[in-house]
């Protein structure tokens, strides 16, 4: 292997959102020297890249994706780091080595880990993983009122810190369905504006409607009950704008629920962008379901026991050492947050959800779920409602409107559209990449052994 060649290609650099406890430069330095203890003292989101000699280190949180790919050039490995597969692929095309690329060979850095990769030649060694987030489990109060106050209070502090970092008069959009999480985020943001001496009307709620959807009706009821109808807008879109195939290209994934969510989000965000070309900041409630385990188990192969014995299952998947762990996609919300991140980025928004903050996830993990559920699986459907309602009341004194749980993509039309199938999503994903890779194969090819840059001594 040629010595002295810089073999790290960082296409995105360190990024952050709502980061507290450190600057971007500090996060980069701590990542470079594998200081997981220091990374663990921060809150908010980051994705960072550092290199120490032949060792590259990568770290990320839930809210910002990070990927890498090992390319073979100049008699050795080049580690290419980006936020997306297609960004890595474009770099490979520029280097005339796109024939080496395969989507499944890219790796997603799992959230809450620092990953070490040694660039020492073929065969490439396996990455090493170091956790920097280890919240205590089930250490909180079993009282719903106290658990709600702790959970919602933590989310409120996160919203307030994020708003405080924005320009004082900057408006903020809220993706609002009238459900528990989006209503909580709307109320927390308005309360934070009051405390910061800003106008609550800077926080504006938007609800997608394909025509006769239940979300519009429940959102309208909620804002009327809260007395903030003037700060709410329905966004009407045509069902023909819903394009799951484009969503698969956008999120670079084939999980059906994430595809549907992203396709729906694009309709909402494009509608907001058309009305407000300069609106930059977006709040949403993504992560609330994962934190409070608000999913029906009959839709999965999970049991109540597996859920309770894996406290971060919905955030991280089964874990990096599990058989079901996907290297290409990580797991849980660590994987699926791209459904929120990618549509927002494509439409020019900086998106933020307080429920993805580590401080808020820690407050959720502290809830003694086993005690509160009492072995009753059905309680999963009502626990989040009770915890968040109690927390909002403790924080604001208001009784938050509570509406039934419904997936974002299911509440926007009068008649829910048929579910997309995983087999179809996989076929679309494969076809999209087959077309790209076929063009790369037919193009100008460069040998991985070709030396076109001088080695630096």
Q: Encode pLDDT of 180-208 as tens digits.
A: 999 999 999 999 999 999 999 999 999 99
On whether the CB atoms of residues 248 and 425 are closer than 8 A, the answer is: yes
On whether the CB atoms of residues 83 and 67 are closer than 8 A, the answer is: yes
Q: How far is CA 379 from CA 33, 208, 307, 373, 385, in A?
A: 45, 29, 13, 6, 10
Same domain, 219 and 363: yes
Same domain, 68 and 190: no
- So what's the pLDDT on residue 236? 93
Q: For residue 360, tell me if it sits in a domain.
A: yes
Same domain, 159 and 121: no
Q: Which of 100, 133, 166 is the last residue of a domain?
A: 133
- So what's the pLDDT on residue 419? 86
Q: How far is CA 377 from CA 305, 308, 312, 372, 382, in A?
A: 10, 11, 18, 11, 10
CATH code for the domain of 229: 3.40.50.620
Rounded to a whole number of angstroms, the distance between the first and last alpha carbons of the chain is 14
Is pLDDT above 50 for 72?
A: yes
Tell me what the mean pLDDT of segment 270-277 comes to: 97
- So what's the pLDDT on residue 429? 97
Is pLDDT above 70 for 452?
A: no
Give the separation between CA 91 and CA 98, rounded to whole angstroms: 8
- So what's the pLDDT on residue 122? 77
Q: For residue 375, tell me if it sits in a domain.
A: yes
Is pLDDT above 80 for 104?
A: yes
Same domain, 413 and 273: yes
**Dihedral, CA of residue 165, residue 171, residue 207 and residue 177, to nearest 10:** 30
- So what's the pLDDT on residue 16? 96
| E strand residue ranges, 126-213 | 128-131, 172-175, 203-209
Q: Give the number of C-alpha atoms closer than 13 A to the C-alpha of residue 27, restricted to the C-beta side.
A: 27
Q: For residue 191, tell me if it sits in a domain.
A: yes
CATH code for the domain of 100: 3.60.20.10
Same domain, 357 and 326: yes
- So what's the pLDDT on residue 325? 82
Instruction: Order the strands of the 43-52 sheet from edge to edge.
Output: 15-20, 43-52, 55-60, 113-118, 128-131
Give the separation between CA 161 and CA 323, rounded to whole angstroms: 38
Q: For residue 139, tell me if it sits in a domain.
A: no
Q: For residue 1, tell me if it sits in a domain.
A: no
Q: Which of the residue ranges 232-241, 280-289, 416-425 would you say has the lowest mean pLDDT?
A: 416-425
- So what's the pLDDT on residue 4? 53
Same domain, 80 and 164: no
- So what's the pLDDT on residue 409? 66
Q: Which of 105, 133, 161 is the last residue of a domain?
A: 133
Binned at pLDDT 50, 70 and 90, residue 411 comes out as low
Binned at pLDDT 50, 70 and 90, residue 3 comes out as low
Q: For residue 452, tell me if it sits in a domain.
A: no
The number of folded domains in the chain is 2
Same domain, 119 and 184: no
- So what's the pLDDT on residue 199? 97
Binned at pLDDT 50, 70 and 90, residue 457 comes out as very low
Give the separation between CA 209 and CA 73, rounded to whole angstroms: 50
Percent of the chain with pLDDT strictly greater than 90 = 81
- So what's the pLDDT on residue 414? 56
Q: For residue 128, tell me if it sits in a domain.
A: yes
- So what's the pLDDT on residue 151? 98
- So what's the pLDDT on residue 455? 44
Same domain, 190 and 308: yes
Give the separation between CA 291 and CA 288, rounded to whole angstroms: 5
Q: How far is CA 353 from CA 85, 131, 176, in A?
A: 24, 22, 12
Same domain, 156 and 44: no
Same domain, 33 and 58: yes
Binned at pLDDT 50, 70 and 90, residue 5 comes out as low
Domain housing 240: 144-422
Q: How far is CA 80 from CA 29, 47, 51, 91, 276, in A?
A: 19, 14, 12, 8, 36
Same domain, 418 and 341: yes
Percent of the chain with pLDDT strictly greater than 70 = 95
Q: Which of 111, 133, 155 is the last residue of a domain?
A: 133
Tell me what the mean pLDDT of segment 116-137 comes to: 92
SS3 of residue 37 by DSSP: helix
Same domain, 79 and 167: no
- So what's the pLDDT on residue 146? 98
Residues for the chain: how many in total? Answer: 457
Tell me what the mean pLDDT of segment 110-131 comes to: 92
Q: For residue 269, tell me if it sits in a domain.
A: yes
Cα torsion 271, 275, 276, 277: sign: positive
- So what's the pLDDT on residue 25? 98
φ and ψ at residue 241, rounded to 5 degrees: -75, -15
């Amino acid at each position: 292997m040629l010595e002295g060649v810089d073999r790290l290609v960082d296409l995105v650099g360190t990024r952050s959102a709502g980061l507290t406890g450190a600057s971007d430069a500090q996060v980069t330095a701590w990542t470079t020297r594998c200081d997981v203890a220091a990374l663990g003292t921060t809150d908010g989101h980051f994705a960072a890249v550092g290199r120490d000699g032949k060792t590259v280190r990568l770290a990320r949180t839930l809210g910002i994706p990070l990927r890498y790919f090992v390319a073979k050039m100049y008699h050795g490995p080049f580690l290419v780091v980006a936020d997306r597969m297609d960004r890595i692929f474009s770099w490979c095309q520029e280097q005339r080595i796109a024939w080496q690329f395969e989507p499944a060979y890219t790796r997603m850095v799992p959230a809450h880990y620092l990953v070490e990769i040694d660039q020492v030649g073929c065969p490439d060694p396996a990455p090493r993983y170091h956790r920097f987030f280890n919240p205590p489990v089930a250490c909180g109060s079993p009282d719903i009122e106290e658990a709600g106050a702790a959970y919602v209070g933590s989310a409120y502090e996160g919203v307030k810190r994020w708003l405080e970092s924005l320009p004082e008069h900057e408006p903020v959009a809220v993706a609002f369905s009238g459900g528990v999480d989006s209503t909580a985020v709307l109320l927390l943001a308005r309360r934070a504006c009051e405390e910061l001496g800003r106008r609550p009307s800077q926080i504006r709620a938007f609800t997608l409607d394909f025509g006769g959807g239940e979300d519009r009706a429940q959102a309208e009821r909620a804002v009327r009950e809260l007395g903030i109808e003037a700060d709410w807008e329905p966004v009407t879109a045509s069902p023909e704008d819903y394009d799951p195939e484009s969503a698969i290209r956008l999120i670079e994934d084939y999980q059906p629920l994430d595809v549907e969510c992203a396709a729906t989000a694009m309709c909402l965000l494009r509608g907001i962008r058309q009305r407000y070309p300069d609106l930059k900041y977006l709040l949403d409630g993504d992560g609330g379901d994962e934190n409070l385990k608000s999913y029906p188990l009959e839709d999965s192969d999970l049991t109540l026991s597996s859920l309770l014995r894996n406290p971060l299952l919905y955030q991280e998947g089964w874990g990096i050492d599990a058989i079901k762990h996907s290297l290409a996609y990580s797991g849980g919300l660590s994987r699926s947050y791209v459904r929120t991140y990618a549509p927002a980025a494509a439409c020019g928004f900086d998106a933020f959800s307080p429920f993805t903050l580590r401080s808020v996830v820690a407050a959720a993990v502290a809830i003694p779920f086993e005690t509160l559920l009492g072995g009753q699986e059905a309680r999963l459907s009502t626990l989040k409602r009770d915890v968040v309602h109690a927390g909002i009341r403790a924080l604001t004194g208001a009784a938050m409107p509570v509406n039934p749980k419904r997936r974002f993509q299911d509440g926007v039309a009068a008649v829910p559209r048929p579910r997309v199938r995983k087999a179809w999503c996989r076929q679309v994903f494969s076809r999209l990449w087959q077309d790209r890779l076929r063009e790369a194969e037919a193009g100008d090819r460069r040998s991985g052994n070709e030396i076109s840059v001088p080695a630096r001594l």
